[in-house]
Amino acid sequence: MSAPACVACAGAWPDPAHRIAGLALTVAYLHEDQFLPGSTLLVLRRHATELWELTREERAELLEEVTTVARALDEAYGAAKMNCALLGNQIPHVHWHIVPRRLDDPAPREAPWSIAHVPRRLGGTELEAALAGLRLRLPH
C-alpha cells in the first residue's frame, strides 16, 4: 500500500543514490547530511504513518531491522552511543533516524537535529566508500 502524496512512497525521498540496503520491511539510506558520520534513515517499504498501523509481527520485525542497522553502523563508525528516533513530523511515513554518536561528537548530550552546523554532504568516491562499507555489513 502506498499513498500518492507521500514523498517516500513516490520515491522522491530519500535520495536513491544514498541507498545502502533493502531489508524485509525497510530500506536503509545514508542520510544526505553526514555532519554526524553514519547518520542513516531506515524507511518502511509500505506506507504507514504510525506504529499502530503495523501488525504486531511487522512491529517486531521493524525493531529487529532497526537493531540490525544500528549494529552495522556501530561496527562501521565505532559508536559510543546510538540514537534511534521515530518521529514523522516532517515526512509522515514510518522511518527511523539511526545516528551513531562517536567519541569525537561535538555535542554528545544534544539531539542530533538540534546541533547547529553546516551540512556535510558526501559526494563521488567518499559517498561510494561509505555505502560500500555499510553494504558489507548488511544484507541487500
Q: Residues 97, 112: contact at Cβ < 8 Å?
A: yes
DSSP element (H, E) containing 66: helix 56-77
Residue 36 burial (CB count, 10 A): 21
Q: Is the pLDDT of residue 1 over 70?
A: no
- Domains, in order of start, for the chain: 16-135 (3.30.428.10)
pLDDT tens-digit series, residues 104-125: 999 999 999 999 999 999 999 9
Cell digits of residue 14: 530519500
pLDDT tens-digit series, residues 87-97: 999 999 999 99
| 48-69 as b/e: b if 16+ CB within 10 A | beeeeebeeebeebbeebbebb
- Give percent of the chain above pLDDT 90: 96
Q: Is the pLDDT of residue 47 over 80?
A: yes
Q: Of 73, 68, 90, nearest to 14 (Cα)?
A: 90
Q: Mean pLDDT across the stretch 34-58?
A: 98
Q: Mean pLDDT across the stretch 56-73?
A: 98
pLDDT tens-digit series, residues 8-27: 999 999 999 999 999 999 99
Q: What is the pLDDT of residue 17?
A: 97
Q: Is the pLDDT of residue 34 over 80?
A: yes
- How confident is the prediction for the chain on average, in pLDDT? 96
pLDDT tens-digit series, residues 69-79: 999 999 999 99
Q: Is the pLDDT of residue 57 over 90?
A: yes
Q: What is the pLDDT of residue 3?
A: 81
